[in-house]
A and B are shown apart, each in its own frame.
Chain A
Amino acid sequence: MNLLPFQIVVLWSDALLFALLAAVFLLALWARRQAPLRASWARVAANKAAMVSVTILMAFLLIGVLDSLHYRARLDAAPGQAAAGKAIYAVEVTSLLDALLAPLREHPEKTYSAPLATHLFAKEPLPGTEMRDFPRLAWGGAHLFATGQAAEDALAAHHVKDVLQRGVLGAAGGLLFWLLALFIVQRANIAWRRKSAQKVGSGDTAPDSNQAVFLPKAVVPTPNPPARNAVSLTLLALCVLAGVAIGLGTGYHVLGTDKVGQDVLYLSLKSIRTGLLIGTLTTLVMLPVAVVLGILAGFLGGWVDDLIQYLYTTLNSIPGVLLIAAAVLMMQVLIDTHPEWFTTAAERADARLLALCLILGMTSWTGLARLLRGETLKLRELEFVQAARAFGVGRLAIMQRHILPNLMHIVLIALVMDFSGLVLAEAVLSYVGVGVDPSTISFGTMINAARMELARDPMVWWSLASAFSFMFILVLAANLFTDAVRDAFDPRAMS
């Protein structure tokens, strides 16, 4: 007998995402105990741009994680069935994010409406009359009509006032929340310092470890004050933005609605998880293949090199979209012919997402592998590799100790480049119709749906603009962060 009012659903992609997070966390714990690694991460922590990026990425990650906690709500049992003791759960799989965003999700409009609008975007014949006018929204600004019963002409001024009022209130709420959070963190920090000072006695190692509490990443030992200030300012900005969004979002569609009247803010937030998954899981599939094959080809040479080169030239010579389309369609047929594998539509959509990751990964490793092969060819002839050979160090050990670490900067750059590239590739594939499941919300599907509306006059710009801004911030933050990581880990750049 399940006492919970819901049934937990763990999708495959959820499991993979949490496994990835756990791996990162364990790696971070391990890295904390390695002095040189900690020193390198400390350099990252001292970098303002990097820490701002981390904060933003963490916000995105938080949304992604909230959206990955799936469940099926228990339905109120019909009076007759209650005695049976068998709970009935909703067919629809929802996530924690869906629950938090319920007001946005549950108040669709009929079709397009501009951000913060009170009326639909297009004129329609009003019911009961012969006139065509902009009908009122079902939810956006509905409270204005409910409370004030204001006349249509006085509405505009009233509307502006209401928006400002809600915005300022929201911002103040965000600020308050930020101050409260800061206060709690400070107190915790002081308490922790006192405790560890007692424990250590002399306390000279204390400042090294305690401040990690302050920052989202546990691996960060001592951020210097400017970076700490930058982080708290970023948090302030995020809090205020969230406050404004909440303040306005309870009465309006903050970023408008799309063709079928769904809230664009909700769609954008939901797209984050898809973007993160495609970016990270695909990279996970592609990276080992690219690194192993690239290094093997470059270092061993001979027939191994020939084989791997033929493999990737062949793969490269097939038009990418065609190959992916074929693979996705095959996968789709497979999924469609085996409905018994999936209990819910969400699981099926999830399987399609994973299949897309796998296929994208299998086709996108060639560029990185080619790059790594070339670099390995160069490194192989360097004298430190010769010296290792003179010691009789095995080939595997040379590749692992001498070649791989000297390739990591390329891998890191490629990782981020691919992350952004893959998020974009998803958009392209969704356009062709071979991307994610139509029921999965993603930046690609959003852009695809908004594409034609740019040609309208007046333009429907908000769908595209919000998808673009969210994607842009995500990719930019990832880029800046990787840049800082690469600099911090390059021993030649240290001074």
Chain B
Amino acid sequence: MNLLTVKDLVIDIGQSRPIDGISFAIAAGECFALLGESGCGKSMTALALMRLLPPNAAVSQGSIEFAAKENQALDLLSLPEQKMRQIRGGGIGMIFQEPATSLNPVMRIGQQIGEALALHGQRQRQAARAIELLTQVGIPDPVRRLDEYPFQLSGGMKQRVMIAMALAGRPQLLIADEPTTALDVTIQAQVLDVLDRLRREQGMAVLLISHDLGVVARMADRVGVMYAGQLVETAPRAAFFERPTHPYAVRLFAALPDPSRRGSQLATIPGSVPPANTRYTGCRFAARCSDAMPVCRTAMPAWRGVENAAANSFANEPPNAAANQAAEKVRSMHAVRCFLECAPQAAAPVEAGKIEVESASPGVAIQGNALPLLAVTGLKVHFPIRRGVLQRTVGHVRAVDGVSFTLHAGRTLALVGESGCGKTTAGKAILQLVPPTGGQVNLRGQSLAGLSAREMRPLRAQMQMIFQDPFASLNPRMRVGEIIAEGMRALAVGTGEVGAAAGKRSSGKNPSTQATPYAARVAMLLERVGLHAGMADRYPHEFSGGQRQRIAIARALAVNPALLVCDEPTSALDVSVQAQILNLLAQLQREHQLAFLFITHNIAVVDYLAHEVAVMYLGQIVEQGTTDEVLRNPQHPYTKALLAAVLPVHGLIRPREPLSGEMPSAANPPSGCHFHPRCPLADAGCRSQAPLDVVISATHRVRCLKIQP
């Protein structure tokens, strides 16, 4: 007996059809993961289950059956609203992506949980039950937390409170919509552990919605891959991760950055997810599929089973013991919606892109005593905390507190750390967008400290920045041509040299940018980053996230910089688009000997792209060295914990001890070693004595008292 059965669900919004015939079933106690990129309809499916669709969306076909009690299936779509309200929270609980906006900021934690309890008929002993729930989700000191407001809690804590609220009605099914996407890896590991433990303890089924293959690998029993409003592949976890079969799934795996792909190109999926109002005649993925056959474009592929060795090993694993053997077999079958007889190999594009690994990293060898492009010594950025009527300074937030590193031309230094560790501020301080409080930034041997805006201007062309959010980094009121030309205009570069070929190609088509002296170079840059020259006259809103990021890259390249500070340039993008951008960046580095300061929290990207890594914690670099040294042979306990928190996509899940606690505030850092409250090795010495750099090799340095050189 399945807890939830969705059959041929179709949702229409006006003329478009974001969900088109989805069927799946979830057994009691099972974790089913919907996997897919943004815009494929995952969240819409979840909202349909709760009957919380936006008013303009309507379920036009299909059924949703929920077995609230044994042998009594309710049709959720025809249930009166009164009954449905009991199902919401009582039968099906839901947690959302953004913990910061899911809690009411003006209600105490206890009141919010109490409200959920009262709604589900638990009016007695509310406080005791709330404390019990908070304990279940692993919140320390729950009695005190009941009287606190959401702003007093960190992001991970808020998500735990959300889970506690969802559990208040003792639901049989929990819908988790990207529950950890907004959280740091170490916190993500903690929250996933809580979810997994609760699921096993309470026999609760989970519908997990995620775009993150690692999260799915960690949590799911079964996986459903969604693409453009349809499920294209369903399989038990082990079978799926061992042998993804649908071309889309195969390419998603191939697009993941991975150390084994260093120096070669990542496989990408051309194009992007089609908009919801697209009309299809054949397979939805055909337009982006390199293995598409003529039949793919004319007929819709039917479901077919996949011969799978892994299915056997999996058969005795699922916890439920349903009587119906046949149904169980069908349910756990690995099925795919594709005409191809055998799974395509994504290897082809990878091989094609395997451009001489040796020559791909010419910058790796540092020429002896060459002057570094960028040398940062003891960089400090302190923000004053002002209080009171007279705005007196009562303290400082030590966002960056003594950071030193060097970066040579053609190389990539990755600055890694959890959010709030000061890595973005460090990047901005290097570009002098934030005035540094202390320390030295030398660009080609020239100090940037104390330069006036006028003196700074020629140096600005040397270093540029690519921002995290491609939607906020382009002025919506300017055309793409103007955006790219802005830097050239401000720094008076690019007028002399004219890409003749590109200029000719774009001539006559766009008269408004043609009039400017920059038009030819704008056209060349657009083609350089893989867009068309004719796009210069469009506005940013006409582009997808990945295309916008390309425009941002073109804007930075326009002034011929030697150093690019990339602030999480791919964290807002889907996996397949991330691969496109990473490929572009790697290619640009090879061709222009660019140096990248790559600010990220994504260890996989670092492992794929970076030559050197610096790990930041609370404003300080705790470990730095080459990528191999830091990622293969981590010394600092924080680096080890950070690496352990990364969820592997392939292979077995290692049993590991997640890092406890959260990063303290930079306004009031712990004494001694900043990491000691979370460190498993910490002792009295760590609490009182600030560690100094310990040199392990010529390139590898660690800041820890427990490590002997």
Using a CB–CB cutoff of 8 Å, the interface residues on chain A facing chain B are 34-36, 382-384, 386-394, 397, 401-402, 405-406, 408, 491-492, 494
Is there a chain A Cβ closer than 8 Å to B120's Cβ?
A: no
Q: Indicate if the CB atoms of A386 and B428 lie closer than 8 Å.
A: yes
Q: Indicate if the CB atoms of B486 and A391 lie closer than 8 Å.
A: yes
Is there a chain A Cβ closer than 8 Å to B117's Cβ?
A: no
Q: Indicate if the CB atoms of B465 and A390 lie closer than 8 Å.
A: yes
Docked complex Cα distance between A393 and B433 (Å): 12
- In the complex, which residues of chain B have a beta carbon less than 8 angstroms from the beta carbon of A384? 472-475, 483
Q: With A387-B465, A390-B433, A393-B486 known to touch, is A405 a contact of B457 (CB < 8 Å)?
A: no
Q: Indicate if the CB atoms of A388 and B486 lie closer than 8 Å.
A: yes
Between A and B, how many residue pairs show CB distances below 8 Å?
Answer: 79
19 more A-B residue pairs beyond the given contacts A387-B555, A393-B490, with a C-beta to C-beta distance below 8 A: A36-B537, A384-B475, A386-B428, A386-B473, A387-B473, A388-B486, A390-B464, A391-B487, A391-B491, A391-B559, A392-B491, A394-B490, A397-B490, A402-B475, A405-B478, A406-B475, A491-B476, A491-B477, A491-B539
30 intermolecular pairs with C-beta atoms under 8 Å apart: A34-B512, A35-B511, A382-B473, A383-B467, A383-B469, A383-B472, A384-B472, A384-B474, A386-B465, A387-B473, A387-B556, A388-B486, A388-B490, A390-B433, A391-B460, A391-B487, A391-B490, A391-B491, A392-B460, A393-B486, A397-B490, A401-B475, A402-B475, A402-B478, A405-B475, A406-B475, A406-B477, A408-B477, A491-B541, A494-B541
User: Considering only CB atoms, which chain B residue lies closest to A388 in the complex?
Assistant: B486
Using a CB–CB cutoff of 8 Å, the interface residues on chain B facing chain A are 428, 431, 433, 453, 456-457, 460, 463-465, 467-469, 472-479, 483, 486-487, 490-491, 511-512, 537, 539-542, 552, 555-556, 559
- In the complex, which residues of chain B have a beta carbon less than 8 angstroms from the beta carbon of A494? 539, 541-542
Docked complex Cα distance between A36 and B476 (Å): 14
Tell me, rounded to whole Å, the shortest Cβ–Cβ distance linking A474 to chain B: 30
Docked complex Cα distance between A386 and B541 (Å): 19
**What are the 8 tightest A-B residue pairs by CB atom distance, in nearest-first order?**
A383-B473, A405-B477, A391-B487, A383-B467, A491-B539, A392-B460, A392-B457, A393-B490
Q: Indicate if the CB atoms of A492 and B541 lie closer than 8 Å.
A: yes
Docked complex Cα distance between A406 and B479 (Å): 13
Docked complex Cα distance between A397 and B487 (Å): 12
User: Considering only CB atoms, which chain B residue lies closest to A385 in the complex?
Assistant: B475
Docked complex Cα distance between A491 and B460 (Å): 30
Docked complex Cα distance between A383 and B466 (Å): 9
User: Considering only CB atoms, which chain B residue lies closest to A389 in the complex?
Assistant: B433
Q: Indicate if the CB atoms of B473 and A390 lie closer than 8 Å.
A: no
Docked complex Cα distance between A401 and B489 (Å): 13
Docked complex Cα distance between A435 and B48 (Å): 59
Q: Indicate if the CB atoms of B490 and A382 lie closer than 8 Å.
A: no
Docked complex Cα distance between A473 and B486 (Å): 44
- In the complex, which residues of chain A have a beta carbon less than 8 angstroms from the beta carbon of B473? 382-384, 386-387
Tell me, rounded to whole Å, the shortest Cβ–Cβ distance linking B386 to chain A: 13
Tell me, rounded to whole Å, the shortest Cβ–Cβ distance linking B700 to chain A: 32
- In the complex, which residues of chain B have a beta carbon less than 8 angstroms from the beta carbon of A397? 490
- In the complex, which residues of chain B have a beta carbon less than 8 angstroms from the beta carbon of A387? 465, 467, 473, 552, 555-556
- In the complex, which residues of chain A have a beta carbon less than 8 angstroms from the beta carbon of B539? 491, 494
- In the complex, which residues of chain B have a beta carbon less than 8 angstroms from the beta carbon of A401? 475, 478, 486
- In the complex, which residues of chain B have a beta carbon less than 8 angstroms from the beta carbon of A392? 453, 456-457, 460, 490-491
Docked complex Cα distance between A390 and B567 (Å): 13
Tell me, rounded to whole Å, the shortest Cβ–Cβ distance linking B464 to chain A: 6
User: Considering only CB atoms, which chain A residue lies closest to B459 in the complex?
Assistant: A392
- In the complex, which residues of chain A have a beta carbon less than 8 angstroms from the beta carbon of B490? 388, 391-394, 397
Residue in B456, B463, B464, B490 with the greatest tally of chain A CB atoms within 10 Å: B490
Tell me, rounded to whole Å, the shortest Cβ–Cβ distance linking B533 to chain A: 17
Docked complex Cα distance between A386 and B552 (Å): 12
Residue in A383, A390, A402, A491 with the greatest tally of chain B CB atoms within 10 Å: A390
Tell me, rounded to whole Å, the shortest Cβ–Cβ distance linking B535 to chain A: 14
User: Considering only CB atoms, which chain B residue lies closest to A402 in the complex?
Assistant: B475
Tell me, rounded to whole Å, the shortest Cβ–Cβ distance linking A375 to chain B: 13
- In the complex, which residues of chain B have a beta carbon less than 8 angstroms from the beta carbon of A408? 477
Q: Indicate if the CB atoms of A386 and B467 lie closer than 8 Å.
A: yes
Residue in B456, B487, B540 with the greatest tally of chain A CB atoms within 10 Å: B487
User: Considering only CB atoms, which chain A residue lies closest to B477 in the complex?
Assistant: A405
Docked complex Cα distance between A391 and B453 (Å): 11
Tell me, rounded to whole Å, the shortest Cβ–Cβ distance linking B572 to chain A: 11
Tell me, rounded to whole Å, the shortest Cβ–Cβ distance linking A410 to chain B: 13
- In the complex, which residues of chain B have a beta carbon less than 8 angstroms from the beta carbon of A394? 453, 490
- In the complex, which residues of chain B have a beta carbon less than 8 angstroms from the beta carbon of A402? 475, 478
User: Considering only CB atoms, which chain A residue lies closest to B541 in the complex?
Assistant: A492
Docked complex Cα distance between A96 and B355 (Å): 82
- In the complex, which residues of chain B have a beta carbon less than 8 angstroms from the beta carbon of A393? 486-487, 490
- In the complex, which residues of chain A have a beta carbon less than 8 angstroms from the beta carbon of B467? 383, 386-387
Residue in A382, A386, A391 with the greatest tally of chain B CB atoms within 10 Å: A391
- In the complex, which residues of chain A have a beta carbon less than 8 angstroms from the beta carbon of B468? 383
User: Considering only CB atoms, which chain B residue lies closest to A492 in the complex?
Assistant: B541
Docked complex Cα distance between A391 and B487 (Å): 5
Docked complex Cα distance between A405 and B477 (Å): 6
- In the complex, which residues of chain A have a beta carbon less than 8 angstroms from the beta carbon of B463? 390
User: Considering only CB atoms, which chain A residue lies closest to B511 in the complex?
Assistant: A35
Docked complex Cα distance between A402 and B483 (Å): 10
Tell me, rounded to whole Å, the shortest Cβ–Cβ distance linking A492 to chain B: 5
